[in-house]
Amino acid sequence: MLQRGLTFTRYVVFVAVVAALAASVALILYQAAVVAEVIVEAVRQGGLFPKSGKALAVGLIEAMDVFLIAIVALVIGLGLHRLFVDETLPLPRWLKIDTISRISKDILSAS
């Protein structure tokens, strides 16, 4: 009975996986539209003037912030899925975690 209940928790985690992946996709699509709008608005404001260049730069920096959050949500969703739902999910090498010693070895070799 307890084992059956514990097995059921993978479906609870699956809700978090779906939410993280949906949030990631939504953020990426929304921010792509925002970037397009910032570019169009910069061109409308005056083309190649410093004022429009600054507005474009600020808009793109803000967009990169949201894209990074979306990527973190994607990695969290994929990682939770692999850990709790389906360990056979093919993931890139950098996202595979086999042992703690491999993580520390990869971190040390990257620096």
- pLDDT of 75 above 70: yes
As a whole number of angstroms, the distance between CA 8 and CA 73 comes to 24
| pLDDT for 31 | 94
Whether the pLDDT of residue 83 is over 70: the answer is yes
| Rounded alpha-carbon distances, angstroms, from residue 90 to 22, 78, 81, 84, 96 | 19, 10, 11, 14, 9
Residue of higher predicted confidence among 86 and 102:
86
List the one residue out of 81, 74, 91 whose CA is nearest residue 10.
Answer: 81
**More confident call, 109 vs 3:** 3
The pLDDT of residue 89: 74
User: Of all residues in the chain, what percent carry a pLDDT higher than 90?
Assistant: 24
- The predicted pLDDT at position 56 comes to 78
Q: What is the tens place of the pLDDT at every residue in 16-42?
A: 999 999 999 999 999 999 989 888 877
Structure tokens at 77: 């969703």
